Structure formats: structure tokens, C-alpha cells
Amino acid sequence: MSSINNIDVFFSAQSFQENELRNKSVVVIDVLRATSTIVTALMNGAKGVIPVEDMGEASRISQSVDSDNYLLCGEKDGTKIDGYDLGNSPLEYSRDTVEGKTLIFNTTNGTKAIKKSLGSATIYIASFLNLSSIVNALSVEKNEIVLLCAGWKGRLALEDMLLAGNIIHNLSGGSLSDMANDGAKVAFGLYEKYGNDISSVIFQSNHAQRLKQIVGTDDLEYCAQTDICNLLPVLHEGIISI
Ligand SMILES: O=C(O)[C@H](CS(=O)(=O)O)OP(=O)(O)O
Ligand SMILES: [Mg+2]
């Protein structure tokens, strides 16, 4: 694998320039909730997920495809957008609803982070739900790795940084050298502080406080689960699939 010292962690999609990702493999992390929802949709048989930048792009794509095979999905301010089939709660993405469908997916932070990564060599989609699959893939990754936390509107999100810390902990075998990048050290330090107490960190995060007001706590409990599936979603030609 590429050296652990070549792993960096970015705290939001606004914290870097696209050209910094050239020839690198990027792991997009948006625990609450976009990447947890993408993983869930694919686990439940969705054919693929098309991440989009905004409502305009979502609407252009949805008008050009056969609506029987596509679902228009996503949120604004945490709530399903009027006229969309589904919002951004992973619990909506049941097998009955998504099996065999391609999803056009539009969220505040997660899909924007994915779109900003398009110039990289590889884009993986990570959540706690598929943590081990991501760690396994990265353990043989040849390129330099960026763990791209989606954050919230340019700010750091605790739950995303904690997943980055868990990934680094697993890859490093439990210790990080002085040569590691600052971002990796911060994420690793968060892991060392909280260990595997993922649920309590997620519940105390700013994003969780916001989501509780909008959708309650079911999504938070769901997204705090580790390794409920063995999936490695990758973006290829604009579509995320497994
Ligand atoms: O739906 C979510 O959880 C958030 C919406 S908001 O930023 O809290 O308004 O979107 P995401 O892109 O999954 O962070
Ligand atoms: Mg988020």
C-alpha cells in the first residue's frame, strides 16, 4: 500500500482545490447522511447512484431519462425536496423502494464533495456501515489517499472526522509516525479520544443536534452502526455502483 504518511484528511469540500486530488484516490465521507444513504441504497439493490451538484443538475438529468427506472432523491435543509421521490434518510431506501433503480441524488454536502473529487484517480464512498470494506481496499491502494470529509457547509463535522480517524487507526496498526500529515494526526487523535464509542460522538455532533429537530434520532442510530455490509461503492463514469 501507499505509505500511511501519504494519507491526508480534508475537513470539507471547500477546504481544497480540485487539482490537489490529481492522481490520488479519494474516500468521500458524509456519515450524516449522504454516504450512509448511498451505501444503504446499494446494499438494498439500487443499480447505481448519480451524485449531482444541485437541483438544476438533478432536474436536467431526470428529464432526460425513463422515469420508470430512475428515482429523484435528496434534501434541502435536511428535508425531502418537493417533487422528489425520496429524501436523504437511509431508512427510506428499502429494497422494495430502490431495487433495480438508478438514483439521481442531490444533497447539501455529500454529493457536492463527490462532484468536487471528479478529477481524482478513484473515488470510494465510505460510511461506518461499510468501514471494513473501505479499510481493506485502502490497505492495497497504490495511490496517495485523501480522506475527504464532506463536513457541513465548509465547516468540520465531528462524525466525518471520527470515521476518518477509525480508517487511519485500522490502516496504521494503532500508531502514527511523526511524519504523518496534520489532518491524519487530528483524525487519529479523535479516534484515540473516543475509541469505538461511535454512537455517542455522533449524537453529540452539531449535525446530529440539527437533524434531531428535523427527523428525530432513528437516522443517527442507524448511521452509527459499523460493518452492516461488505460493500465497496466506487464512482465510475458519473455513477456510483458496487
Ligand atoms: O441531509 C443531511 O443530513 C444533510 C443536510 S444539512 O446539511 O444538515 O442541511 O446533507 P448531507 O449532504 O448528507 O450532509
Ligand atoms: Mg453531512
3-state per-residue secondary structure call for the chain: CCCHHHEEEECCCCCCCHHHHECCEEEEECCCCHHHHHHHHHHCCCCEEEECCCHHHHHHHHHCCCCCCEEEEEEECCEECCCCCECCCHHHCCHHHHCCCEEEEECCCHHHHHHHCCCECEEEEECHHHHHHHHHHHCCCCCCEEEEECCECCECCHHHHHHHHHHHHHHHCCCCCCCCCHHHHHHHHHHHHHCCCHHHHHHHCHHHHHHHHHHCCHHHHHHCCCCCCCCCCEEECCEEEC
pLDDT above 90: residue 27: yes
109 C-alpha vs ligand 1 centroid, how far in Å?
6
7 C-alpha vs ligand 2 centroid, how far in Å?
22
190 C-alpha vs ligand 1 centroid, how far in Å?
22
pLDDT above 70: residue 68: yes
CA angle 37, 38, 42 (to 5 degrees): 115
Average pLDDT over residues 129-156: 97
Which ligand has the nearest atom to the CA of 78? 1
pLDDT digits (tens, 9 = 90+) for 173-214: 888 989 999 999 999 999 999 988 999 999 999 999 999 999
Going by pLDDT thresholds of 50, 70 and 90, the confidence category of residue 111 is very high
* Residue among 152, 163, 212 whose CB has most ligand 1 atoms within 8 A, to mutate: 152
Going by pLDDT thresholds of 50, 70 and 90, the confidence category of residue 16 is very high
Q: Supply 100's cell numbers.
A: 433495480
Calculate the average pLDDT of the chain: 96
Q: Cα separations (Å) of 56 from 52, 60, 68, 104, 199?
A: 9, 6, 20, 12, 35
Neighbours of ion ligand 2 (CB under 5 A): 30, 32, 109
Q: Cα separations (Å) of 196 from 61, 169, 209, 242?
A: 40, 11, 20, 27
Average pLDDT over residues 156-179: 94
Q: Which CATH superfamily is domain 4-241 in?
A: ComB-like (3.90.1560.10)
Contact indicator for 69, 14 with CB cutoff of 8 Å: no
Contact indicator for 103, 94 with CB cutoff of 8 Å: no
Residue nearest to atom 2 of ligand 1 (CA): 78
Average pLDDT over residues 110-114: 98
pLDDT digits (tens, 9 = 90+) for 33-63: 999 999 999 999 999 999 999 999 999 999 9
Average pLDDT over residues 64-91: 96
Going by pLDDT thresholds of 50, 70 and 90, the confidence category of residue 158 is very high
Query: What residue ranges line ligand 1, CB within 6 angstroms?
Result: 30, 32-34, 75, 77-78, 88, 107-110, 150, 152, 207, 210-211
- Rg, C-alpha atoms of the chain: 17
Pairwise pLDDT comparison (178 vs 73), residue with the higher score: 73
Q: Residue 112 and residue 3: Cα distance in Å, rounded? A: 28
Q: What is the ipTM of this complex?
A: 0.96
pLDDT above 90: residue 5: no
* Residue among 75, 91, 153, 214 whose CB has most ligand 1 atoms within 8 A, to mutate: 75
pLDDT above 90: residue 216: yes
pLDDT at 50: 98
Threshold 0.90, pTM exceeds: yes
Residue nearest to atom 8 of ligand 1 (CA): 78
